[in-house]
Structure formats: structure tokens, C-alpha cells
């Protein structure tokens, strides 16, 4: 068990700076998800923790130990790769055993550890099979078992579910969360999928172009985005943004406010304007009926907006008013920072511990 600390870490490839200056502390025993669009440096961050890449500048600590010059094998870190990276010439047992053999664990103990771990991930009947003979989900389990058997301080997972089909992915998602609860080890999980990030992590690190946009528990990220990027990245459809220039009658006292935003799920579709601060006429352009929820695309004088309703009858009328409660409106400054709700926050949101 260990926390991971980044201290002014910089990573460049030749001319390109992937990570300009990263400072963060990944809490001991947390399930931290690093999420962001492709090319944001999330995999590089992960690989630097594992020691597969070396940072150009700065220090990385695992626990109290400075690991800048520690080889990957000596960091006591286990990694699950996106394509599993199972050794194709070895049986399932051989795959799990390989790291133990290299650490000179005695045979009887190896046998015991393998049996234990195979039982946990349900691989006991397959121990003598070659990875090629297994299904995607089973290979995933082998990769997990291989990582677990070493009893690492830190578990690193690089988009481990992206090669699985939707149903299996959902199942593995909850299995991973349960596994984390059982092991209590620090998990660092990289994904580009915000659903995975929100549903699995108890701490999310949102990256863009190598910079941490926000690091917070999932619901804080959703309820109190620190900036425009976070507000737009988390949530489907993304948060609606309207420039204040297009709302002359709103009369914002604070000059610094450039845009206001609201979540599609907070938008209400009505026939007449209510008492809300924000309401504007709209027409329905498009309707996606997804069962329990309906997503509307709306056309207004301030551009296209989204609205999302839950378990409500379909609205058919063409001419409507979209309105939002005062407390659901976010204000963005020119530099993209989000103000009001973040500052007005009363009590910190409680972090979900396990599923």
C-alpha cells in the first residue's frame, strides 16, 4: 500500500512537451481514475508510475520512496495492459508464475499463491491452457491474476476494458471495483471513457494536454466543475454554454462573466416562462428517445442547446420555453474558470467507498 506523489514532473519527447508540470498526490488505497481525451498524456503518466517511461524532470514518489532511478520490476507495481500482454508461449499458470519465479519465490509458496489467485478470478479450470485458447474476458482475468499474485503496492490499469464487448465491460467494471475493495491496494486506472471514470473511481484526475484540469471525487467533478473543460467533458450530452453577450436583458453585474452554463438534465421544457432566472424560447430540432430518458436538441436565438428529461411524457409541441433554476446555473469567467456553484458549495460531497 502506498500513495503516489508527482513533484514538478515534466515529460518531453524531443520537441514535444507531453506533460509541462504535474503535481499531484494519489491517495493511499484510492481507486484513482485518470481520464481525458486522446493525446492528453494519461498513458504517459501511467507509464511513468510503472517506470516504463522516465520523466524528463521532477520527482515521483511511491510511498516514501523516490523511484526516479528504480527499475520497473523493483517498484512493486503491477500493471494490466490494454491488450493484456500475456506471454503467448506460456500457459495461464506460467503467465501468473513468471513474476514469482523471477523473484525467486519458493515453489510450494508459488503453488499456493497461484491457487489462491486463480480461485479469486475464477481461472482454476483453465490454468493449463494457453492464452490463445481463452476468450477476451478470460484473458483479462489472467492479466489481473498475473498482476495480483505479486501483491503489489500499486495496481496500474491501462484501459483494460476497451477490448471487451459492452456487456462484459459492464460486468468487469463492477468486478474491478469489488476487487479494489477486497485488496485495498492503490489502484490507478486510465481510461478515455467518462462513464468508466465516473462509475469506478473514487477520485478522478481529468487531464487535458498534459495539465490537470481538476482532481476530485466523481460527484464533485459533476456538480462543481472547476472550469469549462471539466464542465464539458463530464456528462452526456455536455453542459450547455450560452455567451452572456446573447443575453442582454439578463444584466450581469459581474463583468468578468463570459458564459453561463447548465446541465441538459436540469433544463425544463415548458409552454410558458416560469419564475426562473434563465428562460428562453426554443423549438425542438431533434428528439432521441432512449427509453427512460429523452434527449432533445433545441434551437434558440443563442444557438443549439440540449435538454434531457427522465420518465416524462414526450413533448411534441414545436414552440416551447426552456428554463433553468437559479441554483443550477454555472458561471464561467473569461479564462474558463467556473465560479458560482463551486464557491457556494455548502458541504463536501461524501465519497462513495464501495459499490
Q: Is 34 in the site for other proteins (CB under 8 A)?
A: no
Q: Is 85 in the site for other proteins (CB under 8 A)?
A: yes
Q: Is 99 in the site for other proteins (CB under 8 A)?
A: yes
Q: Which residue, 19 or 96, has its beta carbon nearer to other proteins?
A: 96
Backbone φ/ψ region at 302: left (φ over 0), alpha (ψ -120 to 50), beta: alpha
Helix (H, G, I), strand (E, B) or coil at 13: strand
Cell numbers 483453465 correspond to 126
Can you tell me which of 87, 109, 122, 171 binds other proteins, judged by CB under 8 A? 87
- Choose one: 3-11, 44-52, 235-243, 342-350; the region binding other proteins (CB under 8 A): 44-52
Helix (H, G, I), strand (E, B) or coil at 55: coil
Cα 274 → chain centroid: 37
Q: What is the contact mask toward other proteins in residues 120 to 139, using x (rule: CB under 8 A)?
A: ------------x-------
Q: Which residue, 61 or 81, has its beta carbon nearer to other proteins?
A: 81
Q: Which residue, 146 or 169, has its beta carbon nearer to other proteins?
A: 146
Q: Is 71 in the site for other proteins (CB under 8 A)?
A: yes
Q: CB atoms < 10 A from the CB of 157, how many?
A: 24
Can you tell me which of 50, 198, 295, 339 binds other proteins, judged by CB under 8 A? 50
Can you tell me which of 8, 54, 59, 83 binds other proteins, judged by CB under 8 A? 83
Shortest spacing between CB 102 and other proteins, in angstroms: 4
Q: Which residue, 44 or 227, has its beta carbon nearer to other proteins?
A: 44
Round to whole Å and give the CA distance between 15 and 13.
Answer: 6
Can you tell me which of 37, 73, 273, 303 binds other proteins, judged by CB under 8 A? 73
Q: Is 160 in the site for other proteins (CB under 8 A)?
A: no
Helices 136-148, 107-121: inter-axial angle, 10-degree rounding: 140
Shortest spacing between CB 86 and other proteins, in angstroms: 8
Nearest to residue 36, comparing CAs of 159, 200, 156?
159
Shortest spacing between CB 146 and other proteins, in angstroms: 8
Strands (E), the chain: 4-13, 16-26, 31-35, 57-62, 65-66, 77-80, 154-158, 186-191, 203-208, 211-216, 240-243, 257-262, 268-270, 278-289, 293-300, 303-310, 319-324, 330-333
- Choose one: 45-53, 108-116, 273-281, 331-339; the region binding other proteins (CB under 8 A): 45-53
* Cis status of the peptide bond prior to 237, with omega within 30 of 0: yes
Looking at 65-104, list the stretches that DSSP marks H as alpha helix, in order from N- to C-terminal side: 92-102
Instruction: Give the binding site for other proteins (CB under 8 A).
Output: 50-52, 71-74, 77-79, 81, 83, 85-90, 98-99, 102-103, 132, 146, 150
Amino acid at each position: 500500500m502506498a500513495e503516489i506523489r508527482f513533484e514538478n514532473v515534466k515529460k518531453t519527447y524531443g520537441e514535444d512537451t507531453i506533460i509541462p508540470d504535474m503535481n499531484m498526490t494519489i491517495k493511499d488505497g484510492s481507486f484513482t481514475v485518470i481520464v481525458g481525451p486522446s493525446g492528453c498524456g494519461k498513458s504517459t503518466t501511467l507509464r511513468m508510475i510503472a517506470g516504463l517511461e522516465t520523466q524528463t524532470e521532477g520527482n515521483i514518489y511511491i510511498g516514501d520512496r523516490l523511484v526516479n532511478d528504480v527499475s520497473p520490476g523493483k517498484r512493486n507495481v503491477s500493471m494490466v495492459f490494454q491488450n493484456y500482454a500475456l506471454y503467448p508461449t506460456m500457459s495461464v499458470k506460467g503467465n501468473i508464475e513468471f513474476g514469482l519465479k523471477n523473484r525467486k519465490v519458493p515453489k510450494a509458496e508459488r503453488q499456493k499463491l497461484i491457487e489462491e489467485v486463480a480461485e479469486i478470478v475464477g481461472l482454476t479450470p483453465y490454468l493449463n491452457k494457453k492464452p490463445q485458447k481463452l476468450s477476451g474476458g478470460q484473458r483479462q482475468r489472467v492479466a489481473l491474476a498475473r498482476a495480483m499474485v505479486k501483491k503489489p503496492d500499486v495496481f496500474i490499469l491501462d484501459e483494460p476494458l476497451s477490448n471487451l464487448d459492452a456487456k462484459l465491460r459492464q460486468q468487469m467494471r463492477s468486478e474491478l471495483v469489488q476487487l479494489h475493495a477486497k485488496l485495498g491496494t492503490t489502484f490507478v486506472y486510465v481510461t478515455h471513457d467518462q462513464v468508466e471514470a465516473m462509475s469506478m473511481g473514487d477520485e478522478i484526475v481529468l487531464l487535458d494536454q498534459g495539465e490537470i484540469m481538476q482532481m476530485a471525487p466523481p460527484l464533485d467533478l459533476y456538480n462543481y466543475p472547476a472550469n469549462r473543460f471539466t464542465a464539458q467533458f463530464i456528462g452526456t450530452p455536455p453542459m450547455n454554454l450560452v455567451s452572456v453577450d446573447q443575453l442582454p436583458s439578463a444584466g450581469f453585474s459581474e463583468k468578468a462573466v463570459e458564459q453561463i452554463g447548465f446541465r441538459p438534465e436540469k433544463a425544463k421544457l415548458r409552454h410558458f416562462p416560469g419564475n426562473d432566472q434563465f428562460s428562453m424560447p426554443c423549438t425542438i430540432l431533434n428528439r432521441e428517445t432512449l427509453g427512460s430518458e429523452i434527449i432533445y436538441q433545441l434551437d434558440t436565438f443563442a444557438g443549439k442547446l440540449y435538454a434531457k428529461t427522465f420518465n416524462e411524457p414526450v413533448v411534441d409541441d414545436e414552440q416551447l420555453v426552456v428554463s433553468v433554476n437559479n441554483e443550477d446555473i454555472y458561471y464561467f469567467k473569461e479564462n474558463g474558470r467556473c465560479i458560482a456553484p463551486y464557491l457556494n458549495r455548502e458541504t463536501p460531497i461524501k465519497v462513495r467507498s464501495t459499490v
